[in-house]
């Protein structure tokens, strides 16, 4: 279970049976399959038996029917002026996929919010924003974006006949129109706030 959890946290997807076999020096993939089957019988993991990389660890707090996912926290994101930011995993957040409204195969990541440009959407400094990578943004979605080489958290705006741009949800910040590129790194699917 620890190997499955660690692989999801570092790589973003569960290990294959062959990777489990290699990691534990099993002589055959069947040995890895038997160990995975034993974890399934104990109710510790779920996943389709004949679908690659579908393993998910079940939280002991749940009724063993709802899959959870450890979502890697990749540092922080500016909710203010865009800035150059390297992302390094700083831990993880265990999330109920049903509560997030995402499919089990969704590629998720979380970022800690810094700055006040999104307070109009009730996104405050210190919040953890959870994003789905690869999801196409719709007008009005909150996104983690790379705009002209710098990252930021803003509302995605697509107006008819115009290039998409990013909008702050605080009147003291102006909208951001890309000079060269706008890459959406993820669409926000959830927000987690710690009690103060």
What CATH number does the domain containing 37 carry? 1.10.10.10
Give one word for 24, left, alpha or beta, with left for phi > 0 and alpha for psi -120 to 50.
Answer: alpha
> Which is catalytic among the residues 154, 172, 174, 190?
154
Using an 8 Å Cβ cutoff, are 4 and 15 in contact?
A: yes
Mean pLDDT of the chain: 83
Give 95 or 21, the one with higher predicted confidence.
21
Same domain, 23 and 90: no
pLDDT of residue 194: 76
Give 181 or 91, the one with higher predicted confidence.
181
**Where is the domain boundary, 32, 57, 82?**
57
pLDDT of residue 63: 47
What is the enclosing helix (H) or strand (E) of 9? helix 2-11
Same domain, 140 and 114: yes
Give 1 or 113, the one with higher predicted confidence.
113
Same domain, 113 and 178: yes
Q: What predicted TM-score, i.e. pTM, was given to this entire model?
A: 0.63
Domain assignment present for residue 53? The answer is yes
Active site residue 117: yes
Active site residue 154: yes
Domain that holds residue 92: 68-192
Residue 80 CB burial class (10 angstroms; 0-12, 13-18, ≥19)? buried
Same domain, 163 and 85: yes
What CA dihedral angle connects 87, 88, 91 and 97, to 10 degrees? Answer: 40
Tell me the torsion sign for CA atoms 2, 194, 96, 154: negative
Same domain, 76 and 147: yes
> Which is catalytic among the residues 16, 28, 54, 117?
117
Same domain, 101 and 143: yes
Specify the pairing of strand 142-147 against strand 182-192: antiparallel
Q: What is the per-residue pLDDT across 76-117, written as a single tens digit (0 to 9) for each?
A: 888 765 555 455 567 788 888 878 888 877 888 999 999 999
pLDDT of residue 14: 83
User: Residue 169 — φ and ψ, nearest 5°?
Assistant: -110, 40
Give 1 or 129, the one with higher predicted confidence.
129
Domain assignment present for residue 63? The answer is no
Mean of pLDDT values over 161-187: 91
pLDDT of residue 48: 66
Model confidence at 130, in pLDDT bands (50, 70, 90)? very high
Same domain, 154 and 76: yes
Closest by Cα among 187, 191, 188 to 136: 187
């Amino acid at each position: 279970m620890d190997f499955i959890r660690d692989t999801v946290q570092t790589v973003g997807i569960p290990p294959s049976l062959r990777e489990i076999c290699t990691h534990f020096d099993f002589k055959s993939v069947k040995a890895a399959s038997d160990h995975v089957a034993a974890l399934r019988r104990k109710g510790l993991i779920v996943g389709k038996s004949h679908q690659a990389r579908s393993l998910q660890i079940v939280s002991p707090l749940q009724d063993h029917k709802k899959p959870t996912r450890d979502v890697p926290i990749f540092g922080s994101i500016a909710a203010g002026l865009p800035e150059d930011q390297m992302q390094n995993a700083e831990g993880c957040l265990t999330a109920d996929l049903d509560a997030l409204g995402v499919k089990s195969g969704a590629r998720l990541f979380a970022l800690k919010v810094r700055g006040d440009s999104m307070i109009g959407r009730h996104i405050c400094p210190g919040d953890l924003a959870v994003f789905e990578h690869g999801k196409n943004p719709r007008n009005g979605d909150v996104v983690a974006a790379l705009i002209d080489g710098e990252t930021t958290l803003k509302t995605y705006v697509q107006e008819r006949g115009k290039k998409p741009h990013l909008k702050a949800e605080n009147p003291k910040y102006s909208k951001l129109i890309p000079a060269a590129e706008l890459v959406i790194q993820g669409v926000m699917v959830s927000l987690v706030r710690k009690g103060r």
